[in-house]
C-alpha cells in the first residue's frame, strides 16, 4: 500500500501530487516522550493514537535528523562488494534518528500551493500595465474573500402547519402505549366507524374482538386477542394464524401501537371469510 503523509496540508504520497523519489516515509516513534513531542509539533491532541500505516514524510525533518550512511560489518558481503579489499562499504539506506522530531511545516508537500497561486494571480492583476483600471478593479474583486449571504429564515406556512396539526391530532388519538389506552380509544373510535359484525369482550388478561356469525346458531368465525402486554394473536375459527400472515399490519415481534392497526386486523379477518 503506498504511503501517504499524515501531516495536515501535506500531499506527499497522494496521486494528485508528484512526490520526489528521494522523499521517505517514517513511522511514529514508540518512545512516549518523543511521541509527545511529535504530536505537539504537529498540533495533534495528546490522546491521538497513530495507526500502523500512519506515516510522516521526510520533508518535515531537518537533514541532521537522518543517518544517511553507515559501515557494513558483514565481512563476507564486504568482500563481495569491494573486491576483497578492506575498504568499508557505504550503505545507501537512510534512517531517521530515534530522538528526531518533525519541525518543518512550512510550504512543503504542496500544502500552500493553492494559496500561492491565488496570491500570484491577485498580484499580477493589480500590477499589469496593459489592462485598464476598470478591468483591474473587476479582477481584484474576484480575489477578495466572498462573504456568505445571510440565511433567510423561512416564514411558516399556515396551511402546512394546519395540516401537520391535524395529522398530529389523529396520531395522538390513535396511538397507544398501554392496555388501558387501547380499550378506551377503541371504544371511542368504534362509535364513529368500525367494521360491522364484531363484538368485544374485556377480561382480566386480554381484550377480545370477535367476528360473529348470526347463524343460527350464532358462532365466532374469527377473533383477535390482545394481551395486557399488547401482544396480538389472530384466530380463524379455532386455528391460530401465523404472525407472518398479518405482518403487513402488525410487524412480527412487535407490539400493537395504534387503534388503526386493530381496525386493519378486523378488516383483514373479515376479508378472509
DSSP state of 64: G
pLDDT at residue 168, rounded to an integer: 57
Report the C-alpha gap between 232 and 224 in whole angstroms: 7
Strand partners, 258: 175
CA–CA separation, 203 and 256 (whole Å): 18
12 compared with 190, residue with greater pLDDT: 12
Question: Is a pLDDT exceeding 90 seen at residue 97?
Answer: yes
Average pLDDT over residues 138-145: 55
How far CA 227 is from CA of 180, 198, 234, 253, 261, in Å, comes to: 11, 18, 12, 14, 15
Q: How deeply is 144 buried, as exposed, middle or buried, from its count of CB atoms within 10 A (0-12, 13-18, 19+)? A: exposed
Evaluate if residue 76 carries a pLDDT over 90.
no
Pick from 53, 49, 25, 23: nearest CA to 35? 49
* Nearest in space to 106 (alpha carbons), one of 50, 61, 68, 40: 61
pLDDT at 103 over 60: yes
Query: What pLDDT is stored for residue 109 in this prediction?
Result: 58
Least confident interval from 31-40, 65-74, 169-178, 201-210: 169-178
Compute the distance between CA of residue 57 and CA of residue 14 in angstroms, rounded to an integer.
12
Distance CA 261, CA 249 (A): 6
Please answer whether residues 31 and 98 qualify as being in contact, where contact means their C-beta atoms are separated by less than 8 angstroms: yes
Model confidence at 117: pLDDT above 60:
no
The larger pLDDT score, comparing residue 79 to residue 241, is at: 241
**pLDDT on residue 127:** 46
Of 177, 186, 174, 180, nearest to 224 by C-alpha is 186
Task: Tell me how far apart the alpha carbons of residues 111 and 180 are, in angstroms, rounded to a whole number.
Answer: 66
Nine cell digits for residue 165: 396539526
Query: Residue 126: is its pLDDT beyond 90?
Result: no
Per-residue pLDDT reduced to its tens digit, 213-266: 887 888 898 999 999 999 999 999 899 999 999 988 988 788 888 888 888 888
Query: What pLDDT was estimated at residue 140?
Result: 55
- Using an 8 Å Cβ cutoff, are 102 and 57 in contact? no
Amino acid at each position: 500500500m503506498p504511503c501517504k503523509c499524515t501531516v495536515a496540508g501535506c500531499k506527499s504520497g497522494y496521486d494528485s501530487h508528484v512526490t520526489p523519489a528521494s522523499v521517505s516515509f517514517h513511522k511514529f516513534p514508540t518512545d512516549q516522550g518523543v511521541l509527545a513531542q511529535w504530536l505537539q509539533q504537529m498540533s495533534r491532541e495528546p490522546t491521538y493514537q497513530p495507526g500502523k500505516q500512519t506515516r510522516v514524510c521526510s520533508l518535515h525533518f531537518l537533514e541532521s535528523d537522518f543517518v544517511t550512511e553507515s559501515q557494513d560489518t558483514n565481512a563476507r558481503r564486504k568482500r563481495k562488494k569491494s573486491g576483497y579489499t578492506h575498504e568499508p562499504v557505504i550503505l545507501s539506506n537512510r534512517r531517521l534518528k530515534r530522538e528526531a522530531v518533525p519541525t518543518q511545516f512550512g510550504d512543503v508537500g504542496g500544502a500552500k500551493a493553492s494559496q500561492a497561486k491565488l496570491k500570484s494571480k491577485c498580484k499580477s492583476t493589480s500590477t499589469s500595465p496593459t489592462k485598464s483600471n476598470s478591468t483591474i478593479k473587476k479582477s481584484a474583486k474576484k480575489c477578495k474573500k466572498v462573504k456568505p449571504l445571510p440565511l433567510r429564515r423561512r416564514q411558516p406556512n399556515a396551511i402546512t402547519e394546519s395540516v401537520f396539526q391535524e395529522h398530529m391530532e389523529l396520531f395522538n388519538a390513535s396511538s397507544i402505549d398501554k392496555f388501558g389506552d387501547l380499550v378506551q380509544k377503541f371504544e371511542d373510535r368504534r362509535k364513529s366507524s368500525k367494521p360491522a359484525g364484531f363484538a368485544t369482550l374485556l377480561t382480566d388478561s386480554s381484550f377480545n374482538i370477535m367476528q360473529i356469525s348470526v347463524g343460527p346458531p350464532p358462532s365466532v368465525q374469527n377473533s383477535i386477542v390482545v394481551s395486557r402486554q399488547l401482544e396480538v394473536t389472530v384466530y380463524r375459527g379455532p386455528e391460530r394464524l401465523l404472525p407472518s400472515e398479518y405482518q403487513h399490519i402488525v410487524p412480527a415481534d412487535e407490539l400493537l401501537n395504534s387503534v388503526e392497526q386493530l381496525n386493519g386486523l378486523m378488516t383483514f379477518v373479515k376479508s378472509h371469510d
